[in-house]
Amino acid sequence: MSLTILLNDQIDKLFKANTELNSVNKNQFEIAVVSFANSKYLHGIEFDDLVDGVMGEGGDEGIDHCYIFCNGMLVADESHPINKESHVKVKFFQTKKEQGFSTDGFRKVKEGIEEIFNLDIDLDKLQKIGANKDILDKADLIRRLFRKASLERAKFSCEVFYVTAAPETKLSEKIKHLANELKENKLRIPFEFYFWGAQEVLDLTEGEDETIEVQFNSQPLEIKERGVQTNGFSGFVTGNNIVRCLQDEKGAFKAHLTEGNVRFFLGEDIKINNSIIETAKDKSKAENFWAMNNGLTIIGDSITPLGNNQYAVLNPQIVNGCQTIHCLYHAYKELDALPDLLKIFVKLVNTDNLDVQTDIISATNSQNPVKSASLKANDNIQRNIEKHLKKSEIYYERRESYYKKQGFTGNKVIGLLKMAQIIHTVVNKESIVALNDTATLFETSSKYDSIFSDLADFDIYTFATILYQKIWSLKNSDLRNNEYPEDKRDLISKGGLVFLHCMSSLILSKAEFKTDEDKKTELCTKNIVISVPARKNEFVKRKESALNLIKDDHYLKDRYEEAKEILEKAAAKYSLVAGKSKSSLLKNRNFDRDYLRPEIDAFLQAQLKKAALQEPA
């Protein structure tokens, strides 16, 4: 009972700290669990993506949440690139605030997963037996990605999380049997299972530091230079010792320690993996393993000598050699122990400077193609935006999961990719491009500089982020309180950036600015060049008024209703011309230019004419 009280306290704290959550028509316990698990198990995804992964009440086939990742990146649709180096991972959650682990509950999620992977069952049949639209859409995407991964010979695996508020993690033999049945599936998809009770969920809420203890074979070389803060140690560590220090108390590998390795997100070559694993298992080759494979680079906030060539590393991240350590762990599991002669070269780097850590991550992965966004995290403009936004209690994660790991939650935490989407939508008026082609915003200097510029007034980032946050709450409240046809509901649910395009144009067009003689308003629906001087900058001259307008929730509600009307008209025209469903506009890169912006202009012009007619002669 005490654990339940403590767990409820944490859930209450989450919802009090993030009042926008009250607008979401989803189960509180379900939202809390994925919020707590996000940093460690869900790659620190954006909060709106986290909530979108909740499958809704009823008809979820036992699956309460579902998230799909490819090389650590959230997958939204089948256009996500997959090749032989990809690793697609599906994470299924069943989350029930119950005092035990129900066999029937676990059977239900098992059967739901089996239905998804039974390719002989049409989705129409699942719909007939009561599966809701969220799970049908997710099942369709999983099937398409699985087939694509099979064709490309990519790695595909699943994780199942069964979460309750049980005081103890006691599983029936039947649950264990059902889990084994799922592991032995005919498609040979690897499955991993997590069973969390109240204690495990509470542990996720703790922001405690993590420490590993690395045992060198002999006295390591100390790397230290006068006047340089970064220092460290390097030397040989046996394969058994390095694997054991990276296991948790249950023997599971601490995979979250590899998240700082940019290369890890790009996947691992299967042939190379097999070669490393076989070398690790071969006693005749074990003594030369260190010469045949990469070593490890582990950075930590501090490194403390413990004596006998052992060192404690505080808050470690494996930033190089991720592939090697994963293969060693795989071989270790197969053999129960690696050959005694197998050793690996390990470099421990001591720095608590997050910018230095980011530079090391980028440098140790520079020989491979990496996520463009990751290499921008240390740009001066990114650091300056982070400092500026913190004044408004917006926590900008230019470094992955930096604030989430400190316990910050909700949509007040904005990642680098999400910021790019938001600003591109507001200044370049391309919400659909922002939604679907986020990575391309970092690939050319012209695109990048149009959204991130030291010449910009940094309040553009404040304005756009706050507006996006408030739109998120408005549309969730709308969906919770109103019934809509399926296509319209889908558009509202997934159209946050489209609403941002509409509402930012409406607000900036109605924001007053000073002229030599008086104050005036003027249409502002074209692209905004953020780097031009203040006197010519369309945002800067309106910003005082615009920032005040978005503080008024009643005003924003009115603009939201206008934006909904505009979007409905633009979507109807698109559907008529293209001969496609309205929701398909979310994939049409020209929708903003060809349909949305003309409809915004027409709406504002009509308002101007109406106002002119009402003016006294």
One-character DSSP codes across 383-420: HHHHHHHHTTT-EEESSTTTTGGGT--GGGEEEHHHHH
23 pLDDT more than 90: no
Q: Which of 412, 413, 476 is nearest to 26 (CA)?
A: 476
What confidence tens digit (pLDDT) does each residue in 314-341 have? 888 888 888 888 889 889 988 889 999 9
Please indicate, yes or no, whether residues 174 and 294 belong to a single structural domain of this protein.
no
As a whole number, mean pLDDT of residues 350-378 equals: 62
Highest mean pLDDT among 163-172, 423-432, 437-446: 423-432
What confidence tens digit (pLDDT) does each residue in 130-144 have? 567 788 888 899 999
Percent of the chain at pLDDT > 90 equals: 46
Please indicate, yes or no, whether residues 143 and 233 belong to a single structural domain of this protein.
no
Asked if residue 31 is part of any domain, the answer here is yes
Tokens for 527, please give them. Answer: 């692209």
Can you give the pLDDT at residue 388? 94
Residues 6+ apart with CB under 8 A from 173: none
As a whole number, mean pLDDT of residues 124-133 equals: 67
Structural domain count of the chain:
3
Question: Among the three residues 143, 169, 204, which one is the final residue of a domain in this structure?
Answer: 204
Please indicate, yes or no, whether residues 219 and 196 belong to a single structural domain of this protein.
no
Can you give the pLDDT at residue 517? 73
Please indicate, yes or no, whether residues 141 and 189 belong to a single structural domain of this protein.
yes
514 pLDDT more than 90: no
Q: How much is the CA Rg of the chain, to the nearest whole Å?
A: 26
Query: Contact 247/254 with Cβ under 8 angstroms?
Result: yes
Residue 513 gets the label, from left (phi > 0), alpha (psi -120 to 50) or beta, of beta
Please indicate, yes or no, whether residues 178 and 230 belong to a single structural domain of this protein.
no
Can you give the pLDDT at residue 390? 92
265 pLDDT more than 60: no
Please indicate, yes or no, whether residues 151 and 73 belong to a single structural domain of this protein.
yes
Please indicate, yes or no, whether residues 220 and 337 belong to a single structural domain of this protein.
yes
Tokens for 381, please give them. Answer: 């403009």
Please indicate, yes or no, whether residues 233 and 319 belong to a single structural domain of this protein.
yes
- Residues making up the chain, counted from first to last: 617
Residues 6+ apart with CB under 8 A from 546: 463, 507, 508, 511, 539
Residues 6+ apart with CB under 8 A from 341: 283, 286, 287
Residues 6+ apart with CB under 8 A from 2: none
Highest mean pLDDT among 50-64, 439-453, 595-609: 595-609
367 pLDDT more than 80: no
Where residue 146 falls among pLDDT bands split at 50, 70, 90? very high
Residues 6+ apart with CB under 8 A from 68: 74, 75, 88, 89, 90, 91, 138, 141, 142, 145
Can you give the pLDDT at residue 131? 66
As a whole number, mean pLDDT of residues 207-233 equals: 86
* SS3 category, 511: coil
Please indicate, yes or no, whether residues 228 and 321 belong to a single structural domain of this protein.
yes
Asked if residue 185 is part of any domain, the answer here is yes
Rounded Cα–Cα distance for residues 594 and 601 (Å): 12
Percent of the chain at pLDDT > 70 equals: 91
Please indicate, yes or no, whether residues 164 and 218 belong to a single structural domain of this protein.
no
Question: Among the three residues 337, 370, 403, which one is the final residue of a domain in this structure?
Answer: 370
| Residue 385: CB atoms within 10 Å | 26
Asked if residue 382 is part of any domain, the answer here is no
Asked if residue 77 is part of any domain, the answer here is yes
Map tokens 């938001």 to a residue.
Answer: 422
129 pLDDT more than 70: no
Please indicate, yes or no, whether residues 200 and 215 belong to a single structural domain of this protein.
no
* SS3 category, 184: coil
Cross-sheet strand order for the sheet of 211-215: 211-215, 310-314, 302-307
Asked if residue 377 is part of any domain, the answer here is no
Asked if residue 261 is part of any domain, the answer here is yes
Asked if residue 380 is part of any domain, the answer here is no
Asked if residue 378 is part of any domain, the answer here is no
* SS3 category, 472: helix
198 pLDDT more than 80: yes
The per-type count for the chain, helices as H runs and strands as E runs, is 25, 17
Rounded Cα–Cα distance for residues 9 and 3 (Å): 10
271 pLDDT more than 80: no
Question: Among the three residues 179, 204, 229, which one is the final residue of a domain in this structure?
Answer: 204
| Average confidence score pLDDT of the chain | 86
* SS3 category, 550: coil
Rounded Cα–Cα distance for residues 449 and 423 (Å): 11
Where residue 84 falls among pLDDT bands split at 50, 70, 90? confident
Cα dist from 503 to 463, 529, 555, whole Å: 12, 18, 11
As a whole number, mean pLDDT of residues 75-79 equals: 84
Cα dist from 79 to 82, 85, 447, whole Å: 9, 16, 22
Residue 193 gets the label, from left (phi > 0), alpha (psi -120 to 50) or beta, of beta
> Which structural domain range is residue 137 located in?
2-204
Please indicate, yes or no, whether residues 425 and 299 belong to a single structural domain of this protein.
no
Tell the burial category of 532 from Cβ atoms under 10 Å away from its Cβ (0-12, 13-18, 19+).
Answer: middle
Residues 6+ apart with CB under 8 A from 140: 123
Q: Which of 592, 594, 599 is nearest to 433 (CA)?
A: 592
Question: Which of these ranges, 160-174, 200-214, 277-291, 563-577, has the smallest mean pLDDT?
Answer: 200-214
Map tokens 């470094």 to a residue.
Answer: 399
Can you give the pLDDT at residue 575? 93
